[in-house]
Amino acid sequence: MKNTPDLHGNDKVRLDKWLWAARFYKTRGLSSEAIDKGHVRLNGLPAKPSREVKAGDTLELRMAQDAPRTVVVRALSGVRGPAPVAALLYEETEASLKQRREAAEQRRLAPEPAHSQPLGRPTKRDRRHIEDWRNAAPRDQWNDRWSASLDDPE
């Protein structure tokens, strides 16, 4: 079947292809790029996109803002299928699940970043004050601050 894990005959699949098939990355190119950047470790070691994955291997993935994920490869597939089938290809470790839950809770309880800025855009009055301040600087003394002036006789 096309949508089931590919366990008949194939005991190895390329790492970048498996990550794409397991839906960790949207394209195979993105999975390959993440591996090249060192965001993916296979059995605790840095990996290459062409490295072959076997059932039972452990993968450590660092995704965008999420906590690092540790997954154990349960089945192999080089074909991207529906999400429920892709979820059967791996099993996330209990420690990884706990760490992700804690990180999500921390993000939920963290203060909203926008609230740290007391002011939004300047009002019309504020803009007038800013313009007055900019125009108040004496423009004719510009050359006095620099030694390489055209007006300077020295």
Q: What is the pLDDT of residues 29-47, one digit of tens each?
A: 999 999 999 999 999 999 9
Please give the structure tokens belonging to residue 110.
Answer: 């963290």
Summarize the confidence of residues 99-115 as an average pLDDT: 85
Q: Is 21 exposed, middle or buried (0-12, 13-18, 19+ CB in 10 A)?
A: buried
Phi, psi at 40, each rounded to 5°: -125, 130
* pLDDT band at residue 11 under the 50/70/90 scheme: confident
**pLDDT value for 154:** 54
**pLDDT value for 68:** 87
**pLDDT of 122-153, one tens digit each?**
889 988 998 988 887 665 565 556 555 565 55
Residue the block writes with tokens 């072959």: 52
Summarize the confidence of residues 94-119 as an average pLDDT: 84
CA distance 107 to 49: 32
CA distance 74 to 5: 10
Q: Domains (ranges, CATH) in the chain?
A: 13-109 (3.10.290.10)
Beta strands per DSSP E along the chain: 13-14, 40-42, 45-46, 52-53, 58-61, 69-73, 90-92
Summarize the confidence of residues 57-86 as an average pLDDT: 90
Summarize the confidence of residues 84-100 as an average pLDDT: 93
